[in-house]
Structure 1
Amino acid sequence: MNLYSNLTDQELIRLYISGNNPAFTTLVHRHKSRIFTTIVLLVRDRNLAEDIFQEVFIKIVNALQSGHYVDNSRFLAWAVRIAHNACISHFRKAHTWPQVVVSYNDELGDSMELSEHSQEQRMIKAEITEEINVMLDRLPDQQREALILRYYADLSYKEIAHTVGISINTALGRVRYALMNLRKQAGVESLVSA
């Protein structure tokens, strides 16, 4: 068991700033899956997401070491905001937004794949993942982004508003309309496949 696993994010950050590198390793392991999944869902390319993920953690390290992190008990929201901004910067430089959805399995999904699932169960899981990716891809970009930040990055509406630069009501509306659009799509899909 990790010596630091029971510490809060803020305690780990204070230890890291004082020179304790294993504390930062614990912090990274605690949040890497959620941050990486958010990046993958925003950029829709696993290789690009890996590059951006590394860039994000370099920015996090630099910000922590230079004292730019404000201890507000929401390290994850702060880190996701950095990840979101890195994704936006990438697409601004490239003058394009992604068109292809690349399926992604996080650590939980990877460990499930290693367990003794039948071939049928693996095929069903792959089909569901593909259907969700297609449905997400059909959403307007702003709704898709808000939905990813809310349910994959686990940000509050206030944090979404701050990250994207919109009002809380706009963030709430985007997530609400995204969910409504997903429900409509799911209803249409079930009628088509029947």
Structure 2
Amino acid sequence: MHTQKLDDSVLVSNYIAGNERCLEILILRHKQRIFSFIYSKVQDRDVADDIFQDTFIKVINTLKMGKYNEEGKFLPWTMRIAHNLIIDFFRKGNRMPTFQNTDEFDIFSVLSDNTLSAENRLIKDQIHEDVKKLVEELPEDQREVLMMRIFKDMSFKEISEQTNVSINTALGRMRYALINLRKMIDNNNIILTN
């Protein structure tokens, strides 16, 4: 089988067994996604390059020491390393990351904590992005009720009047929206606490 088409887990095993080319394929395969993630947090190309390189130095060291045990989860594992290095970057320079919220709603506006550390801000921002993407994937009727209830603080009576459905239907849609969100959160391995 052609090396380019092998699963990440096979490439990792082959690299650990001594095939250096397999690491090169892994880096090329995931470079864009990992670099974009890093850059989106630090907003500086040079810093992003440094963190990207440090991420793969850590990946190589962990693999060479035989401490890798994330069978079949190479990308999430590498992203976690990158995420931790980003947090270290903000801690070292005592820099506070600035995230602009340009959307109509902010899921964390109700959870405002003025004493958030750089690490907590980073984690909260990532959770915000993850959950926002999942809300967008909900069916239209469920998304509408969820937005009205959580982000516009409307009662189910107001929701039923605005959407021309019974209160029970509005409640049902909200229930299904939450069930679907929970499933999507589980399926995407999103952790909502830090």
* Cα distance, 1:145 vs structure 2: 2.0
Identity %: 35
Other-structure match for 2:181: none
1:14-93 to 2 correspondences below 5 Å: 14-93=13-92
Q: Number of paired residues? A: 127
Query: Structure 1 residues 149, 11: CA separation in 2 closer, same or farther (over 3 Å shift)?
Result: farther
8 Å contact 2:70–2:77 — kept in the other structure?
no
Q: Which SS does the other structure have where 1:98 is aligned?
A: coil
**TM-score, normalisation: structure 1:** 0.56
Question: 5+ unaligned residues in a row in structure 1: which ranges?
Answer: 102-132, 162-169, 175-194
Two-structure CA RMSD over aligned residues (Å): 3.0
What is the letter of the counterpart of residue 43 of structure 2?
Answer: R
8 Å contact 1:41–1:148 — kept in the other structure?
no
**TM-score, normalisation: structure 2:** 0.56
Q: When you count helix as a share of all residues, which structure comes out higher?
A: 1
Other-structure match for 2:102: 135
8 Å contact 1:16–1:24 — kept in the other structure?
yes
1:165-184 to 2 correspondences below 5 Å: 170=192
CA offset digits 1:29-75 (Å, max 9, x no partner): 11111111111111121211111000000000000111111142111
User: Relative contact order (alpha carbons < 8 A, sep ≥ 6): 1 or 2 greater?
Assistant: 1
Alpha-carbon separation, structure 2, partners of 1:8 and 1:149: 25
CA offset digits 1:107-152 (Å, max 9, x no partner): xxxxxxxxxxxxxxxxxxxxxxxxxx7738x96634422245676x
Other-structure match for 1:114: none
Which 4+ stretches in 1 moved above 4 angstroms?
A: 147-151
Question: 5+ unaligned residues in a row in structure 2: which ranges?
Answer: 109-120, 134-184
Alpha-carbon separation, structure 2, partners of 1:16 and 1:40: 27
Corresponding position: 1:146 with 2:145: no
Alpha-carbon separation, structure 1, partners of 2:30 and 2:83: 15
